[in-house]
Structure 1
Amino acid sequence: MDTMERLIRSTQELLWERGYVGTSPKAIQRRAEAGQGSMYHHFDGKPGLALAAVRRSAGELRAEAEARFSAPGTAIERITAYLLREREVLRGCPIGRLAQDPDIVASEELRRPLEETFAWLRGRLAGVLAEGRARGELSDGLVPEEVAATIVAVLQGGYVVARAAGSAEPFDQAVGGLLALLRAHVTLS
């Protein structure tokens, strides 16, 4: 792994663990095993490196979700695979945690990849649900855009409640309840 890659990866990890303020250039350099000169050779400082890290985290989240959404199966099977994928629940969502960071949301440039990622996720979920409805797998009463927004909100809220409880159980219960609600829209055709 080259120095630039180590800097981005280290910043991703530190932002997820500590937030923007808690991620100092020194901490990034230590974790990346890179000198100050290397950091400033590749990036214009902490804001530029943070933006590269946020974009990388957003891209990884999208790729991981897309792998489930584009897999074979019914709409509910694909969404279930996404909802039940392995996660580090107590660490929270790497994108959702950043959306709770006041320094990230105060910066339009740093916030934009978060906003775009959540919009993409809602849109992609709505597309899978609409496809399932069009194929007769889901009831006509299901509104794809509303259900997609609910899925994203339940997941993000599930992370927060699980972290507050110090247990993944609230997250797992939220996902279980969400799946039960989704299955109620499955048609028997």
Structure 2
Amino acid sequence: MDTRERLIESTRELLWEYGYVGTSPKAIQQRAGAGQGSMYHHFRGKPDLALAAIIRSAEELRDRAEAEFSGPGAPLQRITAYLRREREALRGCPVGRLTQDRDVMADPTLRRPVEDTFAWLRTRLAGVLTEARADGDLDTALDPAATATALVAVLQGGYVLARAAGDAEVYAQAVDGALGLLAGHAH
């Protein structure tokens, strides 16, 4: 991994662990094993590097979700695979945690990839739910957009509840509950 990549990956990890304010240029350099000159050779400063890291986290979230959404199986099987995918529940979502970071949310440039990612996720999930309705697998009265939003909210809320309880099983219960509700509308 080259220096630029190490800087981005280190920043991603630090943002996930400590947030924007808690991620100092010095900490980034130490974790990346890069000097100040290298950091400023590749990036204009901390905001530029944070943006690259946030975009990378957002891309990874989308890529992993898309792998399940476009994978094999019927639409409801693909949704189940997405919801049940192994996640680091006690660490929280690397993108979702940024919504709690006031410095990220207050900066329109840093906020945009977070906002765009969740908009994409809700839209893409609604598309798979629409496909399930069209196949006759889901009740036609079920609103795909509202249901997709609720499912994303369950995942993000599941992270919060698991972190609060210090127990990843709480996250699994949230997913099980969402799938149970969805199953109530399946044919």
What code does the residue aligned with 1:164 have? Answer: A
1:9-48 correspondence runs (5 A): 9-48=9-48
Give the corresponding residue for 1:69: 69
What code does the residue aligned with 1:30 have? Answer: Q
1:38-187 correspondence runs (5 A): 38-187=38-187
Distance 1:128 1:24 in 2: 40
Q: CA deviation at 1:160?
A: 0.6
Q: Which runs of 5+ in 2 are unaligned?
A: none
Q: What is the aligned-residue identity percentage?
A: 69
Contact 1:25/1:46 (<8 A) preserved = yes
Contact 1:76/1:183 (<8 A) preserved = no
Q: CA deviation at 1:76?
A: 1.0
Give the corresponding residue for 1:4: 4
Q: CA RMSD in A?
A: 0.6
Distance 1:131 1:72 in 2: 14
Q: Which runs of 5+ in 1 are unaligned?
A: none
What code does the residue aligned with 2:130 have? Answer: A
